[in-house]
Amino acid sequence: MLTENTKSRDEGSSLTERLIAALGQDAVLIDPDDVARYCRDWHGDVTTGAIAVLRPRSTAEVAKAVKACSKFGLGIVPQGGNTGLVLGGIPDAPEHQVVLSLERMSAIRTIDPDDFSAVVEAGCILSTFKDAVAEKGMFFPLALGAQGTCRIGGNVSTNAGGINVLRYGMTRELVLGLEVVLPDGTIFDGLSTLRKDNRGIDLKQIFIGAEGTLGIITAVSVKLTPYPDQVATALLALSSLDDAIRLFRRARRDCCDLMSAFEFMPPLAFTLAQEAMPALPIPIAGDYPAYVLMEISGSGLVDIESLMERFLEGVMEDGLVVDGTVAASQAQARNLWLIREGMNEGQAKRGAHMRTDISVSLSQLPQFIADAEKAVTDRFPDCVCVSYGHVGDGNVHLNVLPAAGLSAGERQAVIYETKTIVNTVVDRYQGSISAEHGIGRLKRADFEERLPGARRKLLTALKQAIDPEMIMNPGCQLNFSVNR
Ligand SMILES: Cc1cc2nc3c(=O)[nH]c(=O)nc-3n(C[C@H](O)[C@H](O)[C@H](O)COP(=O)(O)OP(=O)(O)OC[C@H]3O[C@@H](n4cnc5c(N)ncnc54)[C@H](O)[C@@H]3O)c2cc1C
């Protein structure tokens, strides 16, 4: 077990010397300022530490690092772009853990447009990969606000979602194969690009969404699609969230599944976005109860522009959409998306707040939001609820901004209690407390509380079989221990 073998704080310096001796000076960061950069979460709410940061350059070096950590009884926290929002990528026991950063493994090994596939190393930044693929006329559909920083290995390890899920699925559906360094240093080479391969259990699946608890993903083979060179983006004003769900159903049918994004935003979105970006233009006048940012895209012979026009004509005639604007250029489309992205920054500017990442069945979403917001404001009438997100997937971020003027301690108390209130409503709707961000360390207690016995048994058996010394990302997802 990790705790029995782990060296004490006094032996810290000799441990780092041994790591450097095993892996080379170049691959081990120990300067406290350097290490600190890898030990702060994206929001800057939590800062921890680590014995060292390991930065291998190749799969063989990852295997060597894993063997050294196993020998020295060190826990390994894999890290990609460190944009995860649930504290999965930063240590929770600084004296016993190292961060293993994949940032120097960023090569794109192949892009094969004829095979509609590519092979990329885990440390490649998502947007770098998307750009490289686009240069070959191809498209990798994973798209999220953090794409300029997050890395492919992190995306696979969290089974990331994002704005295009409703058309292309979660990351899992884009992955064809994986290369993984297992906790004993063995390399699992599953980098096939076959689309059909039913030779028994599909082992890659256990590493997708595992948040680094079963091994370190070093490379990924993925599906590509033709680049959608026609994109129509519209910001639409509606009378209610119920109408947004009706609009979504209608759009899926009328647009022949060419819809690639459907984001719901409340009226407060514009205020929040402008608090973060005062110069951002807001293209719709008036104050409507609900807004949808919608995108249709395609390539080849379809005419996306006229499809959007005809669709909007119909839904406006039927009163489903009361106002709206269609982007006339890429720059205008970008500004519409900045409203959605600026909302997050605007909330952060208002101070510490309660954030959720929930899913319930699509048909129940409006009632769920109404019930959860009511439960929160009944208890804290001065709080502001902000509900928005990838509504087409039944995924909503129901966040709570505590009243202005509270002390830091009072804010934390509101955050804690409102999270419990919202999770109770999620349970009533048999929803998920983590639609796409994972469990990490932040949601571990809430996850464990809700874990049925059979699922816990299977997860524990899997962990014990693959990582018997429990060195991979200890403390993340489940508090795995032999006696539970
Ligand atoms: C502004 C913003 C917007 C976001 N929007 C979305 C969104 O729309 N949808 C969504 O799903 N997420 C979103 N996220 C969350 C985050 O970007 C994703 O979870 C992303 O996939 C994390 O990638 P990363 O490289 O930053 O991983 P990290 O944060 O570095 O790590 C995440 C987890 O994966 C593990 N890990 C990382 N790399 C490896 C590896 N190579 N092998 C094994 N384990 C590894 C880590 O230990 C950790 O547990 C957003 C985050 C931000 C900041």
Query: What is the reported pTM?
Result: 0.94
437 lines ligand 1 (CB under 6 A): yes
165 lines ligand 1 (CB under 6 A): no
CA of 316 to the centre of ligand 1 (A): 38
Mean pLDDT by 10 residues, the chain (484 residues): 42 79 94 95 92 97 96 96 97 95 98 98 98 98 96 98 94 98 97 96 97 98 97 97 95 93 94 94 88 96 96 97 96 94 91 94 95 98 95 93 94 96 98 96 95 94 96 90 40
82 lines ligand 1 (CB under 6 A): yes
Q: The CATH number of the domain where 418 resides is what?
A: 3.30.70.2740
Q: Are 398 and 358 in contact (CB under 8 A)?
A: yes
- Do residue 186 and residue 248 come from a single domain? no
Phi-psi region of 212 (alpha: psi -120 to 50; beta: other; left: phi over 0): left
How many separate domains does the chain show? 5
144 lines ligand 1 (CB under 6 A): yes
- Do residue 151 and residue 212 come from a single domain? yes
Rg (CA), the chain: 23
Shortest-distance atom of ligand 1 to CA 77? 47
Residue 86 buriedness (CB in 10 A; 0-12 / 13-18 / 19+): buried
- Give the Cα separation of 93 and 412 in Å (integer): 23
Shortest-distance atom of ligand 1 to CA 473? 47
Q: What 8-state DSSP symbol labels residue 389?
A: B
40 lines ligand 1 (CB under 6 A): no
- Do residue 374 and residue 364 come from a single domain? yes
CA of 208 to the centre of ligand 1 (A): 12
Q: The CATH number of the domain where 295 resides is what?
A: 3.30.70.2190
H or E segment at 270? helix 268-276
Q: Read out DSSP for 43-74?
A: TSS-B---S-EE--SSHHHHHHHHHHHHHHT-
CA of 83 to the centre of ligand 1 (A): 5
Shortest-distance atom of ligand 1 to CA 180? 42
CA of 162 to the centre of ligand 1 (A): 11
What local confidence, expressed as pLDDT, does residue 6 receive?
47
Q: Read out DSSP for 161-183?
A: --TTHHHH-SGGGGEEEEEEE-T
Q: The CATH number of the domain where 38 resides is what?
A: 3.30.43.10
- Which of these three, 175, 192, 226, is where a domain ends? 226
Shortest-distance atom of ligand 1 to CA 156? 21
- Do residue 113 and residue 217 come from a single domain? yes
211 lines ligand 1 (CB under 6 A): yes
359 lines ligand 1 (CB under 6 A): no
- Do residue 338 and residue 309 come from a single domain? yes
Residue 461: domain span: 444-483
CB atoms within 10 A of CB 294: 29
- Give the Cα separation of 350 and 352 in Å (integer): 7
Atom 37 (ligand 1): residue with closest C-alpha? 154
What local confidence, expressed as pLDDT, does residue 13 receive?
57
- Do residue 95 and residue 155 come from a single domain? no
Q: Among residues 265, 126, 120, which one has the least CA distance to residue 191?
A: 120
340 lines ligand 1 (CB under 6 A): no
Q: The CATH number of the domain where 184 resides is what?
A: 3.30.465.10
141 lines ligand 1 (CB under 6 A): no
Please, which residues bridge with residue 293 across strands?
235, 263
475 lines ligand 1 (CB under 6 A): no
What local confidence, expressed as pLDDT, does residue 12 receive?
53
Shortest-distance atom of ligand 1 to CA 390? 8
- Do residue 331 and residue 263 come from a single domain? yes
Show the tokens assigned to 440: 């990490």
**Residue carrying the six token digits 């919608």:** 294
Q: Are 225 and 141 in contact (CB under 8 A)?
A: yes
- Do residue 140 and residue 44 come from a single domain? no
Burial 27-61 (b: 16+ CB within 10 A, else e): bbbbeeeebeebbebbeeeeebbbbbbbbbbebeb
- Which of these three, 79, 101, 123, is where a domain ends? 101
CB atoms within 10 A of CB 303: 12
Burial 69-80 (b: 16+ CB within 10 A, else e): bbebbbbbbbbb
- Which of these three, 101, 116, 134, is where a domain ends? 101
- Do residue 113 and residue 174 come from a single domain? yes
Q: Read out DSSP for 271-308?
A: HHHHHH-TT------S--SEEEEEEEEE-TT--HHHHH
Query: What are the helix (H) ranges across 77-206?
Result: 126-135, 152-158, 165-168
Tell me the backbone φ, ψ of residue 332, rounded to 5 degrees.
-65, -40
CA of 328 to the centre of ligand 1 (A): 33
- Do residue 214 and residue 233 come from a single domain? no
- Do residue 49 and residue 122 come from a single domain? no
CA of 362 to the centre of ligand 1 (A): 25
- Do residue 241 and residue 339 come from a single domain? yes
Shortest-distance atom of ligand 1 to CA 122? 41
What local confidence, expressed as pLDDT, does residue 44 receive?
86
Tell me the backbone φ, ψ of residue 169, rounded to 5 degrees.
90, 175
- Give the Cα separation of 227 and 136 in Å (integer): 9
Show the tokens assigned to 430: 């048999």
Q: Are 393 and 435 in contact (CB under 8 A)?
A: yes
Handedness of CA 220, 226, 230, 235 (dihedral sign): negative
42 lines ligand 1 (CB under 6 A): yes
CA of 483 to the centre of ligand 1 (A): 30
